[in-house]
Structure 1
């Protein structure tokens, strides 16, 4: 009887070992492998968190990182952390959360093969914005730096140097001259110089919403008040204009400032979740 139990134990151990070996190897959605150019700052921006939070959850006492080091990262604010259940497929999960399959797959690049998932696998599920889900990201992939949510950050510049204001958009850093594309179709309602926004463009996309693009180096041809714009149309180029009289530039690094405003009453809306949704393609 003892020998039979021992054989059963060995068989079970061998089976568990085989299953462990056969399980697909993929990085968890809750972990990140440090690359050669990574820093705590760049990782914090990528995952919409803070350096202090990364250091806390990883027990780090300095800012030094090593290439290949694996860090635990919190789910970004624009994602829902999800643990795959028995019988799940990416298609089933996409339908469960009412999101397009292509966006779910784009949010989980850590999977070697998205057709192979298993119970307990950590996944990122993109959060759906309240509207405008068919928008187009304003900069092409590979032309801009990772960005975080700068909406509601403090800004101190004003013409008299005294005002402190709340930032009403998200800044996306890119080289000067990088093409900017309209996220949705609409009609240009404002064009020209703004003391804060430099060369800026405001496009009304529906009866109560306007999208705002600021700090351009120049406009694309045909950009004028009243012009009708198509989604994905070239509208201008990244610059560093603003914070002064017409022609002022270079007071900050080149970037696109993107904002969303409701018109009645006129008030800013946090555009970060919309941008992250559009960025998935």
Structure 2
């Protein structure tokens, strides 16, 4: 890690900034004072999301006077802002998109394009790192900043949000495609049209696959082969559940990988095991959300699942398993209450080895679903396809 010299030097920081820190000038609940979480974290923690990606920092964000402090370098690396540090007068200069911000270490005075402003919290040097106020800096540069109080994570958007994932308008009448089905026959039997079915399901062709999930449009007859017949518990087909990715997250189309062979085992004896979940490929750092209200019953490292978290639903019927995470949000502990749609961690590639093992496979979320009564695994594929129609929205909308 590159470090800025604080004595007898004046260095120009490149766009990939070494180790300066932003102070997240965000309204944070709780008492004032500087400090990190008192309890030990179960694994790596991420407290900052920039443009939809969790950004790790080598020092945990701090709190000062109700404000949150995080590394400046993460802003520079993610946005391309130019930063210089003048050691002789302990001054940080941030320039981006024609804007110039000047902050003085240990001073509440700052300047935006030459105009003097007063900060709630000054720039500081902590553990030989420089930290400065992020809400002030971000908003001065035209970024959008949101504080997620439930997860203890700051979210910053530096550029326009692209197209969000298509969400089916009418998703209350799901139909499972049978052998020999065609769109024409399905439409005829359910008193609707091919055009309405294609529109409601965002289909670009008439081709169907066996056991594909379709949502019949409004006004159609009740599905002859409803999804409820394909799943073990209809109670999970409810609009209180969320998909584990948000509407602005990118992920690859996924199939039913439940029950497929997995050759890696802890004993390395050549045996084959069954895959007890669904893998959804997504970029490392993609935020992961809880699908249901519940309570954390396990969190930390697992040889197979890497950094993982298990959540038992409020009814005590099911356990949801989120595996291969790169990091958690701050402060997760066994016994914590979690709400559906709450940010809990970030996609990674951890697992298949001792603590900290990474790179054994491409980044993805492994989602598992288990009966709480006997621990038996359930194929969550159809539930995920149903929940996919309800996602956490953009925090900036």
- Could you tell me whether the CA contact under 8 Å between 1:80 and 1:127 is conserved in 2? no
Deviation track 1:118-172 (CA, whole Å, cap 9, x = no partner) reads: xxxxxxx972452222210001234211111110010000123222100000000
Return 5+ residue gaps in structure 1 as ranges.
1-23, 34-69, 83-89, 99-124
- Could you tell me whether the CA contact under 8 Å between 2:328 and 2:344 is conserved in 1? yes
User: CA–CA distance in 2 between the matches of 1:247 and 1:26?
Assistant: 51
Deviation track 1:208-256 (CA, whole Å, cap 9, x = no partner) reads: 2100000000001221111100110000000000000000011000000
1:229 partnered with 2:338: yes
- Could you tell me whether the CA contact under 8 Å between 1:217 and 1:241 is conserved in 2? yes
User: CA–CA distance in 1 between the matches of 2:341 and 2:250?
Assistant: 15
User: CA–CA distance in 2 between the matches of 1:148 and 1:220?
Assistant: 28
What's the TM-score once normalised by structure 2's chain length? 0.43
- Structure 2 matches for 1:1-281, cutoff 5 A? 26=195, 29=198, 33=204, 73-75=207-209, 77-79=211-213, 90-93=217-220, 96-97=222-223, 127-128=227-228, 129=231, 130-132=234-236, 133-134=238-239, 135-141=241-247, 142-161=249-268, 162-205=270-313, 206-281=315-390
Over aligned residues, Cα RMSD in angstroms?
Answer: 2.8
User: CA–CA distance in 1 between the matches of 2:243 and 2:343?
Assistant: 12
User: CA–CA distance in 2 between the matches of 1:212 and 1:182?
Assistant: 10
Secondary structure of the 1:163 match is coil
Once superposed, which parts of structure 1, at least 4 consecutive aligned residues long, lie more than 3 Å away? 24-33
1:280, distance to aligned residue in structure 2 (A): 1.6
User: CA–CA distance in 2 between the matches of 1:271 and 1:163?
Assistant: 24
Deviation track 1:66-92 (CA, whole Å, cap 9, x = no partner) reads: xxxx6x52245242597xxxxxxx433
Deviation track 1:94-129 (CA, whole Å, cap 9, x = no partner) reads: 7x349xxxxxxxxxxxxxxxxxxxxxxxxxx97245
Which has the larger helix fraction? 1
Aligned length: 187
- Could you tell me whether the CA contact under 8 Å between 2:197 and 2:215 is conserved in 1? no
User: CA–CA distance in 1 between the matches of 2:261 and 2:194?
Assistant: 43
Name the structure 2 match of 1:52.
none
User: CA–CA distance in 2 between the matches of 1:204 and 1:81?
Assistant: 29
Return 5+ residue gaps in structure 2 as ranges.
1-192, 391-397
Secondary structure of the 2:255 match is coil
Distance 1:269 1:170, change over 3 A: same
User: CA–CA distance in 2 between the matches of 1:153 and 1:93?
Assistant: 36
Secondary structure of the 1:93 match is coil
1:26, distance to aligned residue in structure 2 (A): 4.2
User: CA–CA distance in 2 between the matches of 1:171 and 1:277?
Assistant: 16
User: CA–CA distance in 1 between the matches of 2:197 and 2:336?
Assistant: 47
